[in-house]
Amino acid sequence: MQSGFSIDGATGLLREARQVLSPHFDERPPGMKPELIVVHGISLPPGEFGGPYIEQLFTGCLDATAHPYFTAIAAMRVSSHLLVRRNGEVVQFVPFGQRAWHAGPSNWQGRPCCNDFSIGIEMEGTDDGAYEAAQYQALAGLISALCEAYPTLARERVVGHSDIAPDRKSDPGPAFAWPLLKELLA
């Protein structure tokens, strides 16, 4: 599939993304390359879409008084490489060569610390609500572009947050259409 996306190999930035760089990242361990793509689901406040709050959370600027739910999360230092909005818009927070803080305690095929070797993509959505067609199109294009730019990645190594942290996380949730994504990647 043609992705429609391109990655600047020198900077690790997606040329077509809106850049909102996060301070919440660090270096990958020496010699570590991205080998896994982790799909997440997020909405802030829970179940609400389109506001500035995800970007504020990932950049450390979330106002704890803006919503009662935010008091518990405003001080968290989290990020993701990318966010795919409901309309398919892509926002980048962390260059791909850096380690974003998206997976938390995690394990994939016996390897702990998935942040070390993964790229995190947040989908704006909820576990039990349908994601939008534009999001699946964007996600498939992103995966294709990432696999092209980083030969250590593969379409077969795309997992949900729930796959690498099953005791803690349920996202992107049962409403996420994995068969549709696989079809778009074929």
SS3 27: strand
Secondary structure letter of residue 79 according to DSSP: -
Task: Specify whether the CB–CB gap between 88 and 135 falls below 8 A.
Answer: yes
H-type alpha helices, the chain:
53-58, 133-149, 161-164, 178-185
Distance CA 131, CA 119 (A): 20
Q: Between the CA of residue 165 and those of 39, 105, 131, 147, what are the distances in Å? A: 12, 7, 21, 23
Catalytic one of 16, 122, 124, 183 = 122
122 counts as catalytic: yes
Q: Between the CA of residue 117 and those of 17, 25, 27, 51, 53, what are the distances in Å? A: 22, 13, 11, 30, 27
Q: Between the CA of residue 20 and those of 16, 54, 95, 121, 186, what are the distances in Å? A: 13, 11, 11, 14, 31
Residues that are catalytic? 122
